[in-house]
Chain A
C-alpha cells in the first residue's frame, strides 16, 4: 500500500514490560511525527523527525520513551517499563517537507493496552 503503515495494530502488555511500535512512512516523505491519543482525547505530540535535522523530542513525556528513525524510512517508538497510563493509541504521520509544513498523512495507529 501507499499509505503510512503501523505495527502492531494492537498490543497488550503487562506493566513493566518494554514495547516497540513501528512506523513505515510513505516513501519519499522527509518528515515523520509520533502522536499519542488517549481515549476520547486530542493528539499529544511526542516527537518530530525532519529530514537530517536533530529530532524535536520536546513532547516525550519521560525518559522511558524514545524513538529512532533510520534515514528517511522506518521509525520505531520504544516505551520502556510500561505503565498503565501509557495505554493509548500511538499515531504516526509522515509528510513531504519541501521547506514548508505539508499535509500530514496518518497511519491507523497502534493501540497499546498496559494491564
Chain B
C-alpha cells in the first residue's frame, strides 16, 4: 500500500521532444505528489508537486497530470533540453498528516542534442 510504481526506468528523447514519465500508487490516502530531479553526484531537488484537488499543474516547461480515479500521475517535460538530462523520481505521501514520502524507482532521462 505504500508503494509507488514508476515507469519507464530509462528514456531517451531528442531535443525538443516531450518525455512523459508515469507513476501509479495504491494508497488512496495519499494526497501529496511531488516530483524530484537528481543530477549525478547531487541530492534530489523538488521540481514540482500537486495535490489531488486539481488534475493538472504547470510550472514552466514541466507539467504534472493527475488522474485520481486511476490512481496515476505523470510528468511531462515540454520542449526538452539536454540540460534536462537527469534522474526523475515521483513520490507520494499523506501530506496533511505529515507522513513520510515514498519514492518511485526513478527514471533516467537523456535528452540528445
Contacts and interface: CB of A to CB of B under 8 A. Distances in A.
Q: How large is the interface on A (under 10, 10 to 19, 20 to 34, 35 or more residues)?
A: 20 to 34
Contacts of B34: 103
Contacts, number: 60
Interface stretch (A11-19, A75-83, A93-101): A93-101
A45 B6 CA distance: 16
A99 B45 contact: no
A108 B38 CA distance: 10
B23 to A, nearest CB: 12
Contacts of A106: 43-45
Interface residues on B, range: 20 to 34
Interface stretch (B12-20, B52-60, B98-106): B98-106
Interface centre among B32, B89, B101, B106 (most CB of A within 10 A): B101
B43 A91 contact: yes
Contacts of B42: 108
Interface string A10-41: 00000000000000000000010101000011
Contacts of A104: 36, 44, 46, 101
7 contacts: A42-B89, A42-B106, A101-B95, A101-B100, A104-B101, A107-B43, A108-B41
